[in-house]
Structure 1
Amino acid sequence: MSTVILLYTRDLRVHDHPALHEAVRRGDRVVPLFVLDPEILSRSARNRIHYLRDALADLRAALRTRGGDLVLRTGDTVTETLRTAERTGAGAVFLTRDVSAAAQRRHRRLVDEGGRARVDVREFPGVCVVPPLDLTPAGGDHYKVFTPFWRAWERREWRAAVPTPRRVPGPGDIPVGRLPGASLLGQGRGELSPDVQHGGETAARKRMKAWLAGPIGDYEERHDALAAAATSRLGADLRFGCVSPLELARAARDHPKGAAFVRQLAWRDFHHQVTAAFPEIARRDYRPRSTRWRTDRDGFDAWREGRTGVPIIDAGMRQLRHEGFMHNRARMLTAAFLTRELRVHWVHGGDHFHALLADGDIANNYGNWQWIAGTGNDTRPNRSFNLLRQARRFDPDGAYVRRYVPELAALSGAEIHAPWRLDRPPGGYPPPITAAEGPSGG
């Protein structure tokens, strides 16, 4: 009897799951395994751990309805995976390929240590629409600019979605372990947002179907409107693989007005192929520049807490704390304020976002921060952002600001987006901060 371990990482679904499909096809017994790795959890936002708990419970239920189960272990991922292989007699470990530095280290260890234990390790697609590095330019290992990547991505023939297994052979008599309780949240970073999104494939697929059934048709015209519910809110579902990006992209591509949304999925793939080639994206400049960063503890704290005195910035930062989510346009503006106005290093901003975002993804979060800071893949690294003009354009009546900054609730949009230098800010709202003239540094 052949036994295959299916190592789940951030692909927590049963629909369109190539590694699961192949494990069921090849194995007489399949051991779906998820390892709660303390080292990874210690770097994770509490909001993501909240989502993870929901996703694991939902995944176990989905596997059990198909005759299988989800085996849960705690410890080092590679050690626990190979220990489970030894206990079950598994000759193979299947997993979905990922791109972060930690994922690449994990894969190298699995291959090396698995080889010594005579366990075959195989990776499968599933994190992106087009697998990272499957598209490469002539004379290079990855695309450094989005537009040529986008053209190649559009021309690429996508893989077919694999069928959802009706039956998953059970893992046998191995103890499956308990689902993690609320105490798991204590291992994470940042605060738990009161309105953080619930997770799991069942909820994610409902959100996907609702998005495709109507709102996607207005995406191109309304996605930048800060107060509108005009974005998919599928970021966390994609980050944890509770929605297949390929399945979503195929459905969006078939929608008569889905092209703008499909382009955003291409951006996601773009940042993943950059990270696959440059796994230090969360710590080192992709394109080093001679920017003189400032150490501004007070300014950084004011930015984090949403009390900069700039309404559109404070609204975005308070949305992040309250929901574990921020509108994409607000992400751009808040990042521009920190790096361009306060001149604080992008790593600090990226780390703060990563400690709160339920959809926090190494490739997308830090890739976008570097793009804004001028050290990443932007072809115009000196691009400027007129924050007042952006606020008036994308929140003209001030509804977004009033939602998250109650001190300004009595003001009209024109009053909210008047020049920031208010002599007497209303309701105890702080005056705008400016860049500190402190020493350059991190």
Structure 2
Amino acid sequence: MKYKRSIVWFRNDLRIRDNETLSRAVSQSEDVIPVYCIDPRHFEQTDLGFKKTGDLRGKFLFESVQILGSQLQKKKAGLVVLKGFPEEEVPKLAKTCGAEAIFFSEEVGSEERNVETKLEKNAWAQSIATESFWQSTLYHIDDLPFPVSQLPEVFTQFRKAVEKMSEVRAEQEEITVIPFAEQAKPYVRPLDYKDFGLEKLPSLPSKVMRFDGGECSGGERLKSYFWDKNLLKTYKETRNGLLGMDYSSKFSPWLALGCLSPRTIFWEVKRYEKERKKNQSTYWLIFELIWRDYFRFIAKKHGNKIFQVEGIKNNGDSWRRDSADFQRWCEGKTGVPFVDANMRELNTTGFMSNRGRQNVASFLVNDLNIDWTWGASYFESQLIDYDVCSNWGNWMYVGGVGNDPRDNRYFNILRQAKNYDKNGDFVRFWIPELASIEGFDIHQPQELPANILKSKRIELGKTYPEAMVEMEKWM
């Protein structure tokens, strides 16, 4: 159907390249109005006492929306920025400017779906059509070898099936010019970082990777990692690193907000394999994209269960809800150096390595026995690469209520530290008060064997010297 005018409502698809929602709106409309709506609910305080979207995550989002606006200008268009509930503000704008349709990308989280449903209802009430598109995954939902209701509960079964029977679609053709509705210009609202709950944009310390939001930065990272530094060839060997810019791809922040399309990454891997090298590392990066797909399809299958403490396994609730212990975990003051260093990195940068995430999550749920949903909520607030499906799917997994075929996924922190931070460089960087302790001894002050930590935990949150003394009682 051809529309005289349409609105493109941007959500977690803040890009122009390989954006089917935008492409379809341009092809089906005489002119379009690109819109982003700042939802104040995303910046409210949670029941646990921190903002739903923290400063670092808000900063990355703000930058990504800014860059989207500048990218649209290069295509002879502009970005209309609204503030309020999208289900109300977007149809209101459509009515005001005479738009006949609203195009948007589908989401699967319960909050996001609720907004979609209300927006469609409000639009239809005003005789405004809506068209939605699935585009957040590598494999399109319509190309799966089974309906989502029959999605395997074990990742390996899913992966083998899609690798054998599904194909990754080609990217959307490049958009050269966007027919922008001139009448929309009076509705263009200046972008203000205060709208994203940011009183002051935080600065980062030196010697850590700076993540700048937006499609341009995502593309630059892809080019740098694959082609300039030629790091894809060793991805599998280095991806469990902890320090530095280049031990892993770090594409996840741009994937989370849709500044990078997973299909763009996939086809760039294929080009790399053809022009440079094909090996386990090139496959492994695609493997990780398939994991990301899996969690999104699991969220689609199970709905609200992924947010409930019982998870998709319907396990009983036996969790502790100790606010003091949880707060010390959040602040990186548990007294376990490897855990604390990772949490301090998260709080400072909005990012944490995959290895770090598994360890701090395991420590919270297995050693402290604290409600896994508390950890998931804190990650939601802090992570610049927060993705509702990957975040809650991974936390369910570690909490033993998700898609892990094993009942318990326990990480021995001391053993993990020995394997991945043997010389203590990571802890030394993030906990400078321990810098004088040489080598692996930096991990020793408060680390207890798992059986002792579970049965006779030292009092967490003490200073490191105090914890050392108390630990000697149990060793």
Give TM-score, length-normalised by structure 1.
0.91
Task: Note the C-alpha offset of 1:185.
Answer: 4.1
Is the partner of 2:131 in helix, strand or coil?
strand
Aligned counterpart in structure 1 of residue 116 of structure 2, from 97, 101, 107: 107
Task: Note the C-alpha offset of 1:26.
Answer: 1.3
Equivalent residue for 2:251?
Answer: 234
Equivalent residue for 1:331?
Answer: 357
Tell me the distance in 2 between the aligned counterparts of 1:430 and 1:133. 58
CA contact (8 A) 1:324 1:357 kept: yes
Task: Note the C-alpha offset of 1:139.
Answer: 9.4
Aligned counterpart in structure 2 of residue 67 of structure 1, from 76, 85, 96: 76
Tell me the distance in 2 between the aligned counterparts of 1:433 and 1:264. 43
Task: Note the C-alpha offset of 1:193.
Answer: 6.8
Equivalent residue for 2:223?
Answer: 209
Is the partner of 1:197 in helix, strand or coil?
coil
1:347 matched to 2:362: no
Moved more, 315-324 or 139-148: 139-148
CA contact (8 A) 2:97 2:183 kept: no
Aligned counterpart in structure 1 of residue 64 of structure 2, from 46, 52, 55: 55
Equivalent residue for 1:44?
Answer: 53
List gaps (5 residues or longer) in structure 2.
45-51, 449-457, 471-475
Which amino acid counterpart does residue 292 of structure 2 have in structure 1? Answer: R
CA contact (8 A) 1:33 1:71 kept: yes
1:321 matched to 2:323: no
Equivalent residue for 2:431?
Answer: 405
Tell me the distance in 1 between the aligned counterparts of 2:160 and 2:333. 42
Whose RCO is larger (CA < 8 A, sep 6+)?
1
Tell me the distance in 2 between the aligned counterparts of 1:185 and 1:77. 15
Is the partner of 2:382 in helix, strand or coil?
coil
> Structure 1 residues 432 and 381, CA, compared in 2 at 3 Å: closer, same or farther?
farther
Equivalent residue for 2:454?
Answer: none
Which amino acid counterpart does residue 404 of structure 1 have in structure 2? Answer: W
Tell me the distance in 1 between the aligned counterparts of 2:140 and 2:465. 47
Aligned counterpart in structure 2 of residue 259 of structure 1, from 268, 283, 293: 283
Which amino acid counterpart does residue 30 of structure 1 have in structure 2? Answer: V
Equivalent residue for 2:467?
Answer: 431
Task: Note the C-alpha offset of 1:159.
Answer: 1.4
Is the partner of 2:429 in helix, strand or coil?
helix
CA contact (8 A) 2:362 2:409 kept: no
Equivalent residue for 1:378?
Answer: 404
Equivalent residue for 2:382?
Answer: 356
> Structure 1 residues 48 and 419, CA, compared in 2 at 3 Å: closer, same or farther?
closer
Deviations 1:369-402 (A, max 9, x none): 1100101110102232221111101112111111
Deviations 1:251-286 (A, max 9, x none): 224431311111111111111111112232233412
Equivalent residue for 2:157?
Answer: 148
Task: Note the C-alpha offset of 1:113.
Answer: 2.5
CA contact (8 A) 1:137 1:143 kept: no
Task: Note the C-alpha offset of 1:35.
Answer: 0.8
CA contact (8 A) 2:81 2:189 kept: yes
> Structure 1 residues 207 and 176, CA, compared in 2 at 3 Å: closer, same or farther?
farther
Aligned residues: 432
| RMSD (CA atoms) | 2.6
Equivalent residue for 1:124?
Answer: 133
Is the partner of 2:249 in helix, strand or coil?
coil
Tell me the distance in 2 between the aligned counterparts of 1:51 and 1:369. 23
Q: Identity over aligned residues, as a percent?
A: 29
Moved more, 127-136 or 29-38: 127-136
1:194 matched to 2:230: no
Equivalent residue for 1:179?
Answer: 190
Which amino acid counterpart does residue 155 of structure 2 have in structure 1? Answer: F
Task: Note the C-alpha offset of 1:345.
Answer: 0.5
Equivalent residue for 1:20?
Answer: 22
Task: Note the C-alpha offset of 1:191.
Answer: 10
1:162 matched to 2:172: yes
Is the partner of 1:2 in helix, strand or coil?
strand
Shift >3 Å, 4+ stretches? 131-134, 136-141, 190-196, 417-423, 425-430
Moved more, 244-253 or 323-332: 244-253
Tell me the distance in 1 between the aligned counterparts of 2:19 and 2:169. 12
Equivalent residue for 1:282?
Answer: 307
Which amino acid counterpart does residue 327 of structure 2 have in structure 1? Answer: D
Deviations 1:47-69 (A, max 9, x none): 22211221122111111111111
Task: Note the C-alpha offset of 1:414.
Answer: 2.3
Tell me the distance in 2 between the aligned counterparts of 1:358 and 1:157. 30
Is the partner of 2:319 in helix, strand or coil?
coil
CA contact (8 A) 1:309 1:432 kept: no
List gaps (5 residues or longer) in structure 1.
435-442
Which amino acid counterpart does residue 245 of structure 1 have in structure 2? Answer: P
Which one has a larger percent helix, Structure 1 or Structure 2? 2
> Structure 1 residues 2 and 138, CA, compared in 2 at 3 Å: closer, same or farther?
closer
Is the partner of 2:467 in helix, strand or coil?
coil
